Amino acid sequence: MGGSISTMKSSKLTKPDDCSQDNWHQILILFDKLDSDGTRSIEVEELMGHIAVLHVNNNIKQLNEKKISFLCDTEFQKNQIQSDLEINIEKMRKEAEYNIKCLEQTNAEYITTIKESIQTLNDMTIDEKGQKIRQVICGEKTSIEFWDFYKYMKTRTNDIPNIIW
């Protein structure tokens, strides 16, 4: 794998205005390490392994964070419903019971969906994980070009130290 920033006879890469110098530098170094053949594009084989696994692990982490947030929101809504119940006892009791049942059903469905998504991600082979990240980064292209990679990584530079070489 490359040890320094790639240089090619083609046009020089210019840092976008919305990217910090530190993030730009990290993305260039990572891209160079992944671009082992110096073609300024990352082949699927070069991408396999740690970054694909990291991508899937980040998806799992985000789904778990959504689950926690959803559970907190559901609990808050239950408490609000109980408070309203005290103001107008009989009318609000019936309404509250209905709303809680709907929230719990929605919660159960949402948690089931998240668990299924996590299981699907966990069951993926390394090839499927590689295809998943390639699809996210560059769609149907056969290789990942720098600017596609940049767009993917510009909000994920905190993950770069987690990539094990």
Average pLDDT on 63-91 reads 89
Q: 3-state DSSP call for residue 18?
A: coil
User: Residue 95 falls within a domain, yes or no?
Assistant: yes
User: Residue 16 falls within a domain, yes or no?
Assistant: no
Task: Give me the number of domains the chain comprises.
Answer: 1
User: Residue 104 falls within a domain, yes or no?
Assistant: yes
Question: In this structure, are residues 41 and 145 in contact, taking their beta carbons and an 8 Å threshold?
Answer: yes
Of 30, 64, 63, 49, give the one whose Cα is nearest residue 129: 49
User: Residue 6 falls within a domain, yes or no?
Assistant: no
State pTM to two decimals: 0.41
Q: Given a cut of 90, is residue 107 above it in pLDDT?
A: yes
What domain range is 63 assigned to?
33-160
User: Residue 12 falls within a domain, yes or no?
Assistant: no
User: Residue 96 falls within a domain, yes or no?
Assistant: yes
**Phi, psi (degrees; rounded to nearest 5) at 43:** -80, 160
Least confident of 96-100, 125-129, 139-143, 159-163: 159-163
Q: What pLDDT, on a 0 to 100 scale, did the predictor assign at position 8?
A: 47
User: Residue 18 falls within a domain, yes or no?
Assistant: no
Kindly state the percentage of the chain with pLDDT values over 70.
Answer: 88
Question: How many C-beta atoms lie closer than 10 Å to residue 39's C-beta?
Answer: 13
The contacts of residue 140 (CB under 8 Å, 6+ apart) are none
User: Residue 7 falls within a domain, yes or no?
Assistant: no
Average pLDDT on 21-44 reads 81
